[in-house]
Chains A and B, each alone.
Chain A
Amino acid sequence: MRRLVLLLAAASACSSCRRAAPPLAPGALKTAVQSAKAQPPCSTVIPDEWAYSWPVPLADPEASRFTVLYYPVTGHPGAPPTVWSPAGEGVVDARSGKPVSCALLPGAPKELSRRRWPAASEAWDIKTFRAREGLVFEKTQEIAAIYDARRQLRPADVDSAKSYFEAFSSLAEPDLLPYYYRMNPDFWEWLRSAAGVSIPKAF
């Protein structure tokens, strides 16, 4: 009887929680994003030459769907690149490893800048840079599980949110931040309320 009471109490305390989705396999998000352009429907829509953005979690009970932008980066090896505004977007399912949808954005891309990454990252050697790239995927996968669970945040969750934002902002393309916000405003506002950090609002 006492156990039942405890269980009921626990259930009522977390009445707003969603059923926790099983965690994604390590590296699942990175693989899904990297291979999306090679698989339908993206393989018939998104040009090879466009770069993918960092994925942003979507509200999804399975915590496995992310949205990605595609944008032209022109230039040649060893020369400063030209970064253009996003021209396509897609949704990937990290659990299945497949893209769910892909579409072209209206209008011609606009030239944004001649620098792709945040200035601070230029000090990193290539190994550090690649490791930090992997960290962004890892932290995004981690924060998605917390975001989608919609639970009352524990201190550890807040730490995760802060460390996600640190990883993301260290490598997010500065000129694409408004576009990142538009990918899922709900996520960025949730992050702001949960951990006090986020990117600027942009509509």
Chain B
Amino acid sequence: MRSRLTLVAGLLLLWRLSPSAAGSVDPRFQPICKYEAVDPGLCLAYSDLKRELLPYFAPSKDSEQPLPVATQDQIAGWKARASALFARSAVVLAKQTITPTSDAQGAFDEGNGAIAADLNTVMFYTEFANEARWLGDLEKRMTTLEGDVKSAKARPSPLPDDARLGFLTRLQSIGKDGGVVLERLQDDSRKVDSMGELRWGKNYDSVSTSGAIDRKQDPLDGRISSLAARVQSLNAELGGGGDAPAADPTALKNGAKNAMQMAKNSFVTASAQQLGDAGVIAAGSAGGKGSASNIAPVSHETLLDYKEPQKIPLAKDQKAADNFGGVLYAADANGHAYKGPDGKWVMLNVLADPEAARQIEELTSKGLTIVNGDPVARAPYVFQQIGGTCNLASQVEYEESTDPAKFMTPMKSCADDPNCPYHDARGNPPDPKNCPDPRSWEENQLYCAAVKKGLWPGSPKDPHRRDDNGLPEQFSLDLVPGALPERQPLAKPEDLYRTVKSGVMVTVYVDPGILWNDRNLDGKAHAIVVTGVKSLIVTDPQTGKPVLDPQTGKPLTTPLGYYINDTGADEGGRLVPIQQFMDAWEADGHSFVVPS
């Protein structure tokens, strides 16, 4: 009877060791199988775990598919199973019945080491894959930024004599939002640096215990190097200059971290120096003057501390005004500088509630806000309307946004369209030395069209017709070919918010007296273009995490202010705090128009 039982047990053992069984034993763990009698299934458990790990770091020879990426939950599960196996091996070793002990120790050491190495390899690959994803995102982000900069550069400059002004100055000229573009570049630069620092010292050969990895060059190095070069190229395009070393592969191989740091310092110093000189950021936040080689590393926090202009040009301070490029800065808590049609600077307190502006700045500095739309790229569309033509001017902005090429060629002469002679609001022909720019000319064309269609009231005999009249609201965008305007009279605030958040440009009608905090303009209606919205990301006060909309799964947001282009003041990209905006909007029928 006993011999029969021994035979059955032996057969069972043979079955379990057979490759044809449901699970087969990896040769590496065969020595552990000698102790099956003490812990049945132990060697198979080692083999099963290795079999699960293998696809995540050793590609099949006949497969062109990329390696799968493990999830954090999978890794946690494998870690737990490995720990359990190691505990079981310790129990087996503790059994006094096992002989010889040294063989057992060796078998389990080798088995445990193999599992640990494979697990580490999987974790490395997972980390690598995630870093590659991050790098991919960064590359996309950089491509978007390059596109934005290229697009901004291609648009007509709002500044006079564009050729003599650096692009960086031009970005500054659109105010706070020009700073946002620079921030994005700085932010990307930092991320590239971080990636370089993260990858530094990580080489495949240090973890290639399984023999599946035979390359020693980190393939991400090349991509990081390429990104670093793109950062510097953009920096140069913006007029940043500097003496940053070229982020070539050799430099990265020999010391990626140092090369990145030096490049970063140089970029930031050069850009920040110019921003500081122009009064855009506070003195000192640039990290001091000097070359890349003798400045201390710049902390990210310092760089993120983007300051509002500390100096607002006064009417008498023409030198300071020139630093602003002749174009307005966004309203800040200190007030607002406005260059009137007579060319003189006017100081205004456009904010009904300066505290609201401060709160927005604070929330922005904490990273709790998000901007939808594109107030930066759209700011240069604005221009000074001539006469009561805000409605027409907003239409020109739409046209420009859809066909920028049309507005690229500067006017070379004051040649009039015989069917639409150009006159200013007072009926005077243009000064030959001061031709209207393409947008003013286009506005004039729309004015003629509105008159011809009978949409513009007033008499042809009235020399001030263009100035003391305007377009009734119903005809907004009617003059733009193919615009097919969608009107929303008496709209709800949430409708406007949803529309602007979707990214489109929207014409709204506001009470300019409230918009400009100027009582003399009360009761009028003024068409402006909303180019974006800044929102607060709603967070859970307990966890600090964004609250998600149960319907969309996206973070809940609430508007803090709308970005506007105002042709009444030749002002682009001004952020109007939400309460002031809503007061101005609701005081004029709270309607808006969107070109479909």
Contacts and interface: CB of A to CB of B under 8 A. Distances in A.
B523 A51 contact: yes
B467 A37 contact: no
Interface stretch (B56-64, B164-172, B587-595): B587-595
Given A37-B588, A78-B348, A108-B461, A73 B469 contact: no
B588 A78 contact: no
A126 interface: yes
B520 A48 contact: no
B388 A49 contact: yes
A50 B472 CA distance: 10
Contacts, number: 143
A48 B390 contact: yes
Contact of B468 (A40, A76, A84, A126): A84
B249 interface: no
Interface string B441-467: 000000000000000011101101101
A117 B522 CA distance: 10
A129 B569 contact: no
Contacts of A88: 457
Contacts of A104: 457
A41 to B, nearest CB: 9
Contacts of B512: 77
Interface stretch (B80-88, B217-225, B428-436, B524-532): B524-532
Nearest to A54: B523
A108 B462 contact: yes
A111 B517 CA distance: 24
A94 to B, nearest CB: 15
Contacts of B587: 34
Interface residues of A, number: 43
A44 B476 CA distance: 10
Contacts of B474: 40, 43-44
Nearest to B344: A79
Interface string B335-359: 0001011000011101010000000
A158 interface: no
Interface of A: 34-40, 42-53, 72-81, 84, 87-88, 104, 107-109, 111, 116-117, 121, 126, 129, 133
10 contacts: A34-B586, A34-B588, A36-B589, A47-B457, A48-B471, A49-B470, A73-B521, A73-B523, A84-B468, A87-B469
**Central interface residue in A36, A37, A47, A79, by most chain B CB within 10 Å:** A47
A48 B464 CA distance: 16
**Central interface residue in A37, A74, A116, by most chain B CB within 10 Å:** A37
A126 B489 contact: no
B461 to A, nearest CB: 7
Contacts of B232: none
Given A35-B589, A78-B348, A104-B457, A43 B521 contact: no
Contacts of B338: 76-78
Nearest to A77: B516
Interface string B488-527: 0110000000000000000001011000111111111111
B472 A45 contact: yes
Given A77-B512, A126-B519, A46 B472 contact: yes
B329 to A, nearest CB: 15
Contact of A81 (B346, B470, B520): B520
Nearest to B570: A76
Contacts of B471: 47-48
A177 B446 CA distance: 36
Contacts of A108: 458-459, 461-462, 464-465, 468
A43 B348 CA distance: 31
B470 A50 contact: yes
B126 interface: no
Contacts of A116: 519-520
Nearest to A68: B523
A78 B518 contact: yes
**Central interface residue in B469, B471, B473, B524, by most chain A CB within 10 Å:** B524
Nearest to B425: A74
Given A48-B509, A51-B524, A129-B519, A35 B468 contact: no
Contacts of A109: 462, 464, 468
Contacts of B462: 108-109
Interface string B516-558: 1111111111110000000000000000000000000000000
Contacts of A72: 388, 467-469
A74 B518 contact: no
Contacts of B588: 34-35, 37-38
**Central interface residue in A45, A49, A74, by most chain B CB within 10 Å:** A49
**Central interface residue in A35, A44, A81, A133, by most chain B CB within 10 Å:** A35
B359 to A, nearest CB: 19
A144 B340 CA distance: 42
Given A37-B589, A49-B469, 13 more contacts: A34-B511, A49-B390, A49-B524, A72-B469, A75-B521, A76-B568, A77-B512, A77-B521, A77-B569, A78-B340, A111-B464, A126-B517, A129-B519
B391 interface: yes
B134 interface: no
A111 B587 CA distance: 26
A53 B523 CA distance: 8
A97 B524 CA distance: 18
